[in-house]
Amino acid sequence: MTIDLASSPDSSLKPEAQNVSALKQVFQTIDADSCPASYNFHMHTVYSDGRSQPEELIKQAIAIGLKGLAITDHHSTKGYDRAQIWLDNWKLNHSDNNILGPRIWTGAEINAELLNNEVHILGYSFDPQHLSLKPYLRGKSTEGTYSYSAARVIEAIHEAGGLAVLAHPSRYRSTADKLIPEAARFDIDGVETYYAYGNPNPWKPSPKQTALVKELAETYGLFGTCGTDSHGLSILVRI
């Protein structure tokens, strides 16, 4: 049996992909060893600036044994749509064995302004058809002071039922100790605590930045997430 996008218009709106409670439970367990072998919440496909086809990304996730993931293309959920359909079909064809396959949540990476920096906000487990996210899922950054502000992006993700996370908080012109408190003021849900800033191979979170971001996340009661931010053909490294 094969699921087809054209004949199944709601197939990309999987309830499990929008289960915020389940995602929160996972985020509470994330530590320095979670990524990239168990979870990966920051990956790109050919539908933004990545090189991987969504189907190939999911095949890798299964081979690695990932428990959960999100595809976070810039301003797009098209990669997620294709990956979800492929994974649904794979599960139908493997229902008789003990391999469950990874859990996938909706995701996107959205540009926004925070303290005069262009930052990236990761949205997770949202309804991709929600009107509040329509301006942000058109394949490019929004324009205008209001829609481009971090406050509005976070609010829009929440209105669509999702969680908002500040991506790689130590990669911007302003430092993490300034950006994270400001993002927390706008009710952001989490920060990408475990991130490999020097693009090492094998992937490993940067110790100095991780320690600072982890402390700030705990101070402001935020989730700490992880992701390889993969853009190449392997989801185990950034490039």
Closest CA to 104 of 16, 34, 188: 16
* Structure confidence at residue 98 (pLDDT): 66
The answer to whether residue 103 is domain-embedded is: yes
The answer to whether residue 216 is domain-embedded is: yes
The answer to whether residue 205 is domain-embedded is: yes
Residue 190 has pLDDT above 80, yes or no: yes
Question: In angstroms, rounded to a whole number, what is the distance separating the alpha carbons of residues 166 and 123?
Answer: 9
The answer to whether residue 11 is domain-embedded is: no
Q: Name the residue range of residue 69's domain.
A: 19-226
The answer to whether residue 165 is domain-embedded is: yes
3-state secondary structure of 4: coil
* Structure confidence at residue 224 (pLDDT): 98
In tens, the pLDDT along 31-66 reads 999 999 999 999 999 999 999 999 999 999 999 999
- Contact of 18 with 133, CB cutoff 8 Å: no
Handedness of CA 56, 22, 16, 96 (dihedral sign): positive
The answer to whether residue 239 is domain-embedded is: no
Give the CATH number of the domain where residue 217 resides.
3.20.20.140
The answer to whether residue 238 is domain-embedded is: no
- Total tally of structural domains belonging to the chain: 1
In tens, the pLDDT along 126-178 reads 999 999 999 999 999 998 999 999 999 999 999 999 999 999 999 999 999 99
Residue whose tokens read 């490039």? 239
The answer to whether residue 108 is domain-embedded is: yes
* Structure confidence at residue 143 (pLDDT): 87
* Structure confidence at residue 94 (pLDDT): 83
Supply angle C-alpha 170, 134, 86, rounded to 5. 80
